[in-house]
Amino acid sequence: MIDVRRARPLLGTLVEIAIHDDLPPATAESVICRAFAAVARVHALMSYHDPQSELSCLNRGAFSEAIAVSDETWQVLTAARQLSEASGGLFDITIAPALADAGFLPQHAGESRASADGAWRDVRLLPGQRVRFAREVRLDLGGIAKGFAVDQAIATLQEAGVVSGEVNAGGDLRVLGRPAHRVYLRHPGQPTSLLPVMSHHAAAATSAGYFQHRHHDGRAYCPIVHAGTHTLCDARRSVTVFADQCLIADGLTKILYADPERGSSLLERFRARAVILEPDNHSGDCRVFDSAV
């Protein structure tokens, strides 16, 4: 039994891929390289920051004409639409302008002003994997692309016949070959402290403001926009969602972060579980809310 574990900087975070199997070490290494390549491909297609990405091409041109996209981008856009429909628009990939205004995303030179009343419904998914914007919206797939990249890397391991392994992209993770496993959650007020939680779902994703919040008017905000109000969410809480697919876990964290009540009503439908951690600023205690309890 070997245990090969590698990490590379990708998707704006550290991506870790591990294989525990009987494979020859050289084979495991090459499978891990292919899994990293799958993650890098998602990054190249869906980066908001890269003007050459397929996503940037959509943001520039899909209002004037329908643009055909890759299988991967199509899958992510289709899943995004499902999450938007299920959540009544709480999940919305057209919130890029609000994130850019808050400094979480770059303002691209020469880009036109996005339509103020644009929303997820304005992203039309047409036959032939073509995409057309009904209004001048701008998309950011940061809310699910990382989860999707994890799923793609796991698929690469599966296709190579790997029995047991795991992929963790900056805290969005999925294991292969273990029905129950332990996931460590960070204390939102003290992020190097870890809380172990047993999971029966393969994937987990966390949204929290502890490493990337910004201060504004004396409050801390995280890069999650409440799609109903177009305002940024409070950064004190952490939301972890456990699901079978990392893309779903990743997307649901955004919904639960913005609206735990509405979000929690979707957990059953997506066969997911949520754990919310909330620190008490006075006592320093951490409250744990678990939908599975």
- The residues that touch another protein, with contacts defined as CB under 8 A, are 5-10, 12-14, 16, 18, 29, 166, 168, 170-173, 175, 181-187, 190-198, 204-206, 208, 210-212, 234, 236, 238, 240, 258-262, 264, 276, 278, 283-293
Cβ–Cβ < 8 Å for 158, 176: yes
In the complex, minimum distance from the CB of residue 62 to another protein, in angstroms, rounded to a whole number: 28
Cβ 10 to another protein shortest distance, Å: 8
Kindly give the interhelix angle for 54-61 and 71-86, rounded to the nearest 10 degrees. Answer: 70
Tell me the three state secondary structure of residue 166: strand
Smallest Cα–Cα separation from 116: which of 140, 137, 89, 134?
A: 137
Shortest distance, position 184 Cβ to another protein, whole Å:
4
- Contacts of 24 by beta carbon, 8 Å cutoff, 6+ apart: none
Decide whether 78 or 212 has the Cβ nearer to another protein.
Answer: 212
Q: Which is nearer to another protein, 168 or 245 (CB)?
A: 168
Specify the residue, 155 or 292, whose C-beta has the smaller distance to another protein.
Answer: 292
Residue pair 19/31 in contact (Cβ under 8 Å)? The answer is yes
Locate 199 and state its tokens. 């999971």
57: three-class secondary structure by DSSP = helix
How far is 166 from 36, CA to CA, in rounded Å? 12
Cβ distance to another protein smaller for residue 77 or 208: 208
Taking the complex as a whole, the smallest distance from the CB of residue 150 to another protein amounts, in Å, to: 11
Q: Which is nearer to another protein, 92 or 136 (CB)?
A: 92
Q: Which is nearer to another protein, 44 or 134 (CB)?
A: 44
- Cα-trace Rg, the chain: 19
CB of 127 vs another protein, minimal distance in Å: 38
DSSP 189: T
Query: Residue 196 pairs with which residues in a beta bridge?
Result: 184
* Separate counts of helices (H) and strands (E) for the chain: 7, 16
CB of 7 to another protein, least distance (A): 4
Nearer to another protein, 106 or 211 (CB): 211
What does the H/E/C string look like for 87-131? CCCCCCCCCHHHHHHCCCCCCCCCCCCCCCCCCHHHEEEECCCEE
- Closest CB to another protein among residues 139, 233: 233
Closest CA to 102 of 208, 213, 179: 213
Q: How far is the CB of 224 from another protein (least distance, A)?
A: 12
| Minimum distance from residue 84 beta carbon to another protein (Å) | 19
